[in-house]
Amino acid sequence: MRELKLRGGKRWEVLFREGNWLVGLYCPEHASREQVEVLEKHDFPELFYLVEGDVTLLIGEKCKEVELTKDKVVVVEDWHNAYGKGKVLVVEREGVKTEFKQLRKTS
């Protein structure tokens, strides 16, 4: 048995690696949708589960808002980012290729 502590505070912390998969804790760095300037997309699906707080995923090039709740798991295969304050458990494949898309120019 392994016990993992969900500390939070960092944007991304890998908690566990096994074979081709990893589990991490994600704490969004953006407080609002307006702060999100970049979307990312991986070459494998990524699973999101809300542990605590209020976190909204932005999905697709049009940034559809998907509010995470403790009673659902969201699997993302499209462009995405997130905002809010909370902790999200993420399961993804090790060694994914990631693309980035700028939403607007940074100053």
Task: Indicate the pTM of the whole model.
Answer: 0.89
Report the pLDDT value the prediction gives residue 7, as an integer from 0 to 100: 80
42 in helix, strand or coil? strand
The CATH number of the domain holding residue 43 is 2.60.120.10
Q: 3 lies in a domain? A: no
Report the pLDDT value the prediction gives residue 6, as an integer from 0 to 100: 80
pLDDT in tens, 38-94: 999 999 999 999 999 999 999 999 999 999 999 999 999 999 999 999 999 999 999
107 band by pLDDT with thresholds 50, 70 and 90: low
Gap between the Cα atoms of 3 and 44, Å rounded: 27
Output the CA angle 107-53-47, nearest 5 degrees: 80
| Tally of domains within the chain | 1
Domain of 32, in residue numbers? 12-102
Gap between the Cα atoms of 90 and 24, Å rounded: 5
User: Which of 22, 65, 27 is closest to 47 using CA atoms?
Assistant: 22
